[in-house]
Amino acid sequence: MSTAAISEENGLIDPHGGVLIDLLSDRTRAKELEADALSLRQWVLTPRQLCDIEQILTGAFSPLAGFMGRADYEGVRDEMRLVDGTLWPMPIVLDLPESVATSLSDGDRLALIHPEGVLVAILNVSDVWMPDKVEEAVKVFGTKDEFHPGVNSLLNQTDDYYVGGSLEGVRASQHHTYPEMRHTPAQLRALFEDMGWSKIVAFQTRNPMHRAHVELTRRAAEQVSANLLIHPVVGLTKPGDVEYHTRVRCYRAVLDGYEDDSATLSLLQLAMRMGGPREAVWHAIVRKNYGCTHFIVGRDHAGPGNDRDGNPFYGPYDAQYLVEDYRDELGIEVVTFQEVVYDGTRDLYVTRDELDEDSKVMNLSGTELRDRLESGAEIPEWFSYPSVIRELRKSYPAMGERGFNIYISGTSSTANSSLGNALAEMLLEDGSRPVTLLDDSALTLETIDLVAREASRNGGAVVSVAPNSENRGDSTGNVGTGSGVFLSVRQGDSVDSEGEADVAVGSDNSPGQGADMVMRRLTDLGLISKRS
């Protein structure tokens, strides 16, 4: 077993590389940088870049002092090593489009801007290069299959050039929510000292926590005689995850399941890559920088799901194995666990190796939980806490309470408008929701998407008529879905020739008949009550 390096100065574990990086400038220097930025080339940071730069500037990514240059990038990609030999598993790079990247060279400075218009940092450029992103995908993620969300992001959403260099920070973040639960590594270390905590086990999650998670984390803390840090990711996670505001309310609720002063909650603005084993090593390093002495690595840590053939990208315990391989070098103790399940016979949670022949394993899968939330069905108290379920139900309203968007396209703009008007009138007669009709030739598809998304997200019914330029094409994706339900309606002589539309209205149907067909579909889905 390794011995974590403990700083004699404050009794906490040393950060990775020995020094906690802090790249935020004092007030005087920050004003100078803001003045300099006015005459520099500027780049507005993407959501992923915003997450990365916050962790770099505050020291969560220590020992990194900027975005990786080419030598560090290639060392990490190929060997999980920085140039100086320090263990680091995940490339942290600034991707830029060719038009910006090729205008930069060694020694240039680039102002990095928050989307709200304020300066975050200035990058002192050292390297500009065009990486082989397929090679990166294979070496970092073990696959080039775009079903892997990290690979999909890398190959389809990442710009073609990387720019490396050191950073001078002005502000690490521009958050407007949960200030009492957001901490830099230095702040969290200070909090641990104030509470008298010297042994801290961190729990990483991107999902709501239920009773099984509480049992697992309790066991982990008791096993190593440590206090618990619940450290959920609220940056970028896996597409389709529960949005983070709901999750934060759930995390607050589960704190009541722990003994007083045994656990605390802090939010981590991290952009996950869903990189499985490599990501687990990365997460351990980050928690070490935040002052944690132990880190829980559970089953399928940071797993991205299944490949295009339905097979998991990584084995359920691959992440644990890789972290164990680097245990001595990481310096943070890893706490590994099997899956925790509910034994209905004994009315308690146990690990799978604690089951006996009389045990009755009971569980709800994620799909089953979502189905119960959506249908309003009961969720057993052995699975989760009533306070958590109440919060989740707010994000999973019953079908009769959900918003929806009906997108009408076809060969005739006039027929589309007539169908839209008839449908809007019938929905107004139904009276269960506010109704918005988007039918104006001047509206772009982007405008329709934005308005419909917001209206349906807030429980409204939206009838969207395709702009003239879109009428002869297929239904254009799930326009304006938001968190609501999307239905495509196609009208005309050759409707639904390949089954693309949810409702097909023939040219021989009147607007009223077509609208009635859509209303019956809405009734079948449980979105509206049966018409009398």
Phi, psi of 92 (to 5 degrees): -120, 100
The verdict on whether 206 is a catalytic residue reads yes
Q: How big is the chain by its Cα radius of gyration, in Å?
A: 26
Phi, psi of 165 (to 5 degrees): 160, 170
Which residues, in sequence order, are CB contacts of 408 under 8 Å at separation 6+? Answer: 416, 419, 420, 423, 463, 464, 465, 466, 489, 490, 491
Four-CA torsion 451, 453, 455, 461, nearest 10 degrees: 110
Distance (Å, whole) CA 465 – CA 418: 10
The verdict on whether 207 is a catalytic residue reads yes
| 10, 124, 207, 523: the active-site residue | 207
Segments of 363-450 assigned E as strands: 404-410, 435-438
Burial per residue of 135-156, b for 16 or more beta-carbon CB atoms within 10 angstroms, e otherwise: ebbebbbbbebbebbbbbbbee
Place of tokens 């076809």: 410
Q: What is the DSSP string of 238-297?
A: -TTPPPHHHHHHHHHHHGGGS-TTSEEE-BB--B----HHHHHHHHHHHHHHTT-SEEEE
> What count of residues does the chain have?
532
Phi, psi of 273 (to 5 degrees): -110, -5
Which residues, in sequence order, are CB contacts of 141 under 8 Å at separation 6+? Answer: 148, 150, 151, 154, 273, 275, 276, 278, 313
- Helix 413-430 to helix 511-524 angle, to the nearest 10 degrees? 50
Helix (H) or strand (E) holding 390: helix 386-395
Q: What region, left, alpha or beta, does residue 110 occupy, with left being phi > 0 and alpha being psi -120 to 50 degrees?
A: beta
Residue type (1 letter), 112: L
| 77, 189, 206, 453: the active-site residue | 206
The verdict on whether 156 is a catalytic residue reads no
State the alpha helices, DSSP H only, in 69-125: 70-79, 98-101
| 205, 237, 264, 471: the active-site residue | 205
Place of tokens 């521009």: 174
Token pair, residue 109, equals 């400075």
Residue type (1 letter), 113: I
Range 500-505 contact pairs with CB under 8 angstroms and sequence separation of 24 or more: 500/474, 500/475, 501/475, 505/410, 505/419
Which residues, in sequence order, are CB contacts of 87 under 8 Å at separation 6+? Answer: 16, 80, 81, 281, 285, 326, 329, 330
- Active-site residues, by number, are 205-207
